[in-house]
Every structure is written in C-alpha cells, then in structure tokens.
Amino acid sequence: MSPQTLPAASATTSLTGAEIVLRALKEQGVDVIFGYPGGAVLPIYDAIFQQNAIRHILVRHEQAAVHAAEGYARSTGKVGCVLVTSGPGATNAVTGLVDALMDSIPIVCLTGQVATHLIGNDAFQEADTTGITRPATKHNYLVKDIRKLAETVHDAFYVARSGRPGPVVIDLPKDILVGKGPYTEAPKREHRSYRPQVEPDAGQIRKAVAMLKAAKRPVVYAGGGVINAGPEAAALLGKLVRMASLPCTNTLMGLGAFPASDPQFLGMLGMHGTYEANLAMHGCDVMFNIGARFDDRVTGRLNAFSPGSLKIHADIDPSSINKNVKVEVPVVGDAAAVLRAMIAAWDEEPAQQDREAIAAWWRQIDLWRGKKCLDYVQTGKIIKPQHAVKRLYELTKESGRETFISTEVGQHQMWAAQYFGFEKPNRWMTSGGLGTMGYGLPAAMGVQVAHPDALCIDIAGEASILMNIQEMATLAQYRLPVKVFILNNQYMGMVRQWQELLHGSRYSESYSEALPDFVKLAESFHGVGMRIEGADDLDRVIREMIAIDRPVIVDCAVDEKENVMPMIPSGAAHNEMLLASGQESGGGASVTDQGMGLV
C-alpha cells in the first residue's frame, strides 16, 4: 500500500525529513544501521551525528552493508537496516537485496535520491532506484511527500517482517530529507492491502494430521521458513518429530531448525545432501514439507521426485505451494502456528500410527545410513577439507563458546553444511537461493555486531573471500573479532568440480592464480594472519584462532582436487546419487545431455 491517509491525530511538531527517518527507525526498534554516506543522504548522516540511540556501522562497500544486515537479521530475528546513497550506492546494494529476497531475509534499505524536481533529468548520481530494485525487493517506495514519510518507514518495516519476510527499499529524495514535516507514530490498525495469513485453516490441519498419522514411511522436510518463524517454531518442530518418531531432514536454509545431533536427523537433503535423506525423500509415502519451497537443488529431476508419496506443504507464502511440485494438502500459515495446530490436533485424530511400519522404515533408513556417505579418509599431511571443517566444529564445540557460522559460496559452503553440526536455529548464515560469493565475511560482521561476545566464523574459499575482502577494514574499525577460515584449494573448487564431471576436466579459468598472501593481508588490515600447511597444524591453529580476540584470517591449505560428495547431478533423481569413490555407487547417475543444460 502507499500510506495515503494521514493519521492526523498523532501528528506532532514538525521535524526535518532526516529526523523523521531516524525517529521512525527508533520506534521500529532499530539499534544499528549498516551504511555508507554520499551526497544524497548527507542530511541523514547529519542527524545520525547528533544522536546516540542508533549506532551506525560504516562498511566499505554497499553490497556488504546489505549482507551485514542479513547476518544481523538472520541471527537475531529482527529486521536488518541499511543506509546507502543514491546512484552507485543504490546499485551496489542490489546484489544484497536480491540475496535477501531469495532467502526471505527481512531488510529495510534506505536509499538516497536526487531532489524530487531533478528526478528523471539524469542528474548527478541519479538512478531509477525504484525501477531497478522492483524485482529485487519484496516492495519498494519512493517518498514524494514529507507528510507520508514517517508512515512509509513504518509500513516498510511491517512489510519486511510480515508474511514471508524480505527486503524493502525506501527511496528518499534529498529535498524530502531537508524539508520539514510532521512525525506520525506507527499505525495500530490493520494494513490496507497486505495481510498475510498466519493462522492455518483448521480443516487443512486436520487433513495434514490424518495423512501424516496414517503414514508408514513418513519424512519431514523442514526449511528456512521454520527459522524465520522464530525459535519457538524449531522447538515445536522438535516436539512433533519426536512424538511421532518421524525422520527429519533440513534444507540448506533450514539447518539448525532441527538439532544435527538428534538421532532422528537425517542430515541435509538435496544436490549435496546425505544418502539417507535423499533416499528417504525418494521412498517415503507421506512427505511433510514445512517452510521449504521444493527448490531445484532439493528436488533434482522433477518428474522423478519422490514419485510415490502424498505431500503436505505448509508455507506462509501461498505462491510457494504447487509452484514446482503438486501437493495433496496445502497449508497456508506461519510455521510456528502450523506446528502448534498440528500438535494440538494430533491426539484428536482417532487413527493410530502404524508403529510397526514406522519401525521397519527406520530399519531401512539405518541401512542407508550404513553407507556412511559422509565418510572420508584423512591420512598424511594433506588436509581433507571435510576434516578441516569437522575439526573446526569439534574444537569450537569444545570451547563452549556460542558459535555462529557464515559461509561464502562453493565447495567449502557445502562442506560446512555437511560437517558442521547446528543444534539451534539462527546460528547458520549462508547464501542459499542466490549463491552469492562475497556473502560470508560481511554476514559474519553483521552477526558479530549483534552478538559481540560470540564466536563468529566465516568458512570461506580463497576465491570468494576476495569479493568482499575490503570489509576487513570495517572489522578493524569496530574491533569485531570475526574469524575468516579459508579452505584454500587454489581453485574455484565448485567450478572445477563441475568442469571435471561435466566438461571433460577442462579447467577453464577456474584456477586461483596470483592469490594474495593472506597472512600479510590480514596484518595489513590490522588483524592476525595464520597459515595451516599440514594436518598436524590444524588443531593448534584452530585453537589459537578461537582464543584470539581480534579479527583473524586463517589460510588453511587443503586438498586441491577434493570433490563434494554425495552429489545428485543436475537432471538426475534422488535415487541416482553419486557417492565418493570407495563407497558403493548409489544408482550410478551420469550426467545426461539434458542435465548439461541445467545449472
């Protein structure tokens, strides 16, 4: 909606536009903004200078401001806030916005704009920001009337956090920021047009419960929606899964929604998911999808996806349901509300679970688990990247510190997902939908700002880390002791892996040539640099890294030619998984011509 009505009653004395913005941010609970100044937003920077309630973190690139706000949002459940200038400031932020859109992260991004009378004149640092960001955001606004400014900010926060969360842009012309107008408080009434359904339909819940209770081979497939619905949703998921003895798998975005150490956890599913998770998905008779979206990285070849199952899909976004995969029982609602309703309805459903069938199903799953699809062999000096992540996990756990992990994009990201166990939601930040290299460092920075005493580690690749390396300066300025742990395989490993499997090992442009000396690089940014050359250094350096209360880069040399396994090649089905050499092959998929055309 556009805030066209003005709740005149609460209008108070006039403030400048910039003051109105800050006051509205404060009312919305913002305590930190990630931003970068420029001509069009100078009035806001002036207002920031004159107050203490909201902290500003000066990033070194606007893309990083958005990723930092994403890390902040995902680790706290609050809306992340960004401030950038017009033109290049706004265009630099676009990658971050699309990233947040794809992963459903609530962000409000304020962009400066040239004065209203200059809009459309190709003025200095003018860009059509609302035009450019329309498909990059959940919603956006251009404020042309200062009387609507406060209400627009309130509206933006409501839209960003309600329903399926997402990024929202408010474009602020400079004359609006310096003009004077009234402040209005957040409206108490319902939104005019955007009112997503939170509580599920009782009839659909009954159908879902009846179907799930009747299952002989059930599986729960939980995604990022459970994380977005807050810690209570994860607790309720745990309750339902345990009381009904259900096997549970998580998507990449859902890791932490169900504890990794729980015996009922099957691991991650999808392209690089576990053998047991993918075969359980393939062989189940009832699938309960909560807060996931049947992404192509999860389903593999659609016409071979879980062919014999009845499917329940609960999602806050009705457009996610029946988009890729047809389901029998759609349930629209917030994940916590859905799970609460299902638990309440469980005992009312007269049918009893077939405990014997479910026990047999678990025996089948245990056979699949027996394949030990994530096993690797670590011998000698050369470090297997899997081993590095495993030790990082075990040693951080040993340290007893509250730990948050972010990643860049590539093989290291998948190894982090496979070998780092997440027990709680909101501890895992990764760019799932967009797959943005350069996400991890700024995201970890945002997490560290929100959790100053926690251990925040970016598990990185040597190629990805260079995409937002400038943020080392931000870490130094604000004394944010983020740890960057580089799995340095000297390759854009994920690209190299695909070239090996799909393009006849022709490693076109995927070698990481002319890398910087990461130790010196860390030092030049006022941090600590460390190197791990062989397996015998691994534990010592990780322990040291954990103990240092400053930004650290660890350059960990790992096996250059290691591939991420298991793998469902593009265009293949879940039961046609490739396993690591030495393990028996799953169904022996090779890449088809059709699969070659897929990404």
Ligand X SMILES: Cc1ncc(C[n+]2csc(CCOP(=O)(O)OP(=O)(O)O)c2C)c(N)n1
Both tokens of residue 473?
């300066």
* 102 sits near ligand X (criterion: CB under 6 A): no
* 209 sits near ligand X (criterion: CB under 6 A): no
Nearer to another protein, 199 or 402 (CB): 199
What does DSSP assign to residue 491?
A: B
* CB distance 422 to 393 below 8 Å: no
* 196 sits near another protein (criterion: CB under 8 A): yes
DSSP bridge partners of 352: none
Where are the alpha helices (H) located in 181-274, listed in sequence order? Answer: 202-213, 224-228, 231-243
* 412 sits near ligand X (criterion: CB under 6 A): yes
Nearer to Mg ion, 438 or 493 (CB): 493
Antiparallel, parallel or unpaired: β 180-182 and 14-16: antiparallel
Site for another protein in 62-101 (CB under 8 A): none
* 489 sits near ligand X (criterion: CB under 6 A): yes
Q: Where are the beta strands (DSSP E) in 260-390?
A: 265-268, 286-290, 310-315, 329-332
| 230 binds, options another protein, Mg ion, ligand X, none, Cβ within 5 to 8 A by partner type | none
* 317 sits near another protein (criterion: CB under 8 A): yes
* 534 sits near another protein (criterion: CB under 8 A): no
* 493 sits near ligand X (criterion: CB under 6 A): yes
* 438 sits near Mg ion (criterion: CB under 5 A): no
Find the helix or strand (DSSP H, E) in which 176 lies: helix 174-178
| DSSP output for 131-144 | HHHGGGSSEEEE--
Q: Which stretch binds ligand X (CB under 6 A): 203-211, 408-416, 527-535, 575-583?
A: 408-416
DSSP bridge partners of 113: 173
| 435 binds, options Mg ion, ligand X, another protein, none, Cβ within 5 to 8 A by partner type | ligand X
Smallest distance from the beta carbon of 293 to another protein, in angstroms? Answer: 13
Backbone angles phi and psi of 16, in degrees to 5: -75, 160
- Catalytically active residues are 62, 124-125, 174, 494
| 436 binds, options another protein, Mg ion, ligand X, none, Cβ within 5 to 8 A by partner type | ligand X
Triad 143, 77, 242: Cα angle to 5°: 145
* CB distance 256 to 234 below 8 Å: yes
Tokens 């902290």 belong to residue: 55
232 in helix, strand or coil?
helix
Where are the alpha helices (H) located in 420-488, listed in sequence order? Answer: 440-450, 471-477
Nearer to another protein, 50 or 319 (CB): 319
Nearer to ligand X, 287 or 389 (CB): 389
Smallest distance from the beta carbon of 490 to Mg ion, in angstroms? Answer: 7
* 493 sits near Mg ion (criterion: CB under 5 A): yes
Catalog residues that contact ligand X under the rule CB under 6 A. Answer: 408-412, 435-437, 461-464, 487, 489, 491-495
Catalog residues that contact another protein under the rule CB under 8 A. Answer: 1-2, 4, 130-131, 134-135, 138-140, 142, 159, 163-164, 192-194, 196, 317-319, 321-323, 326
